[in-house]
Amino acid sequence: MNKLKIKKGDTVKVLSGKDRGKSGKVISVMPALGRAVVEGLNMRTRFERSRNAGEKGKKVEFPAAMPVSKLMLVDPNSGRPSRVGFKFLESGSKQRIAKASDKAV
């Protein structure tokens, strides 16, 4: 299992692809695949057939997973994209920090 620096609930910015420059909130993370699902980005369309004979089918849009390498964490302090680092506190616990502001995420 791979460790990722992006977690569920983070705000991220897309670095490349059709949604380049857009930002959104991370809905779910798949560490084994190295992918994350971002709300409102990388939208896909699926057509579902109707369950009842009299109804029509539906067109369903949903956000698809995208590689974490295309995402960058947005620093909550400054609002700008930043790399993620780690700092060990006196208590021995590990804390994520934004490299741009050197503050906790």
Per-residue pLDDT of the chain (105 residues; tens, 9 = 90+): 568 899 999 999 999 999 999 999 999 999 999 999 999 999 999 999 888 888 888 999 999 999 999 999 999 888 999 999 999 999 999 999 999 888 998
Q: What is the pLDDT of residues 47-63, one digit of tens each?
A: 998 888 888 889 999 99
Same-domain pairing of 2 and 37: yes
pTM of this prediction? 0.84
Number of domains in the chain: 2
Q: Distance between CA atoms of 92 and 3, rounded to whole angstroms?
A: 19
Range of the structural domain that residue 13 is part of? 1-73
Indicate whether 42 and 10 sit together in one domain: yes
My answer on whether 35 and 16 are in the same domain is yes
Domain identity same for 56 and 25: yes
What CATH number corresponds to the domain at position 57? 2.30.30.30
- Shared-domain flag, residues 69 and 82: no
Q: pLDDT digit string (tens) for 64-73?
A: 999 999 999 9
Same domain, 45 and 14: yes
SS3 of 12-39: the string is EEECCCCCCCCEEEEEEEECCCCEEEEC
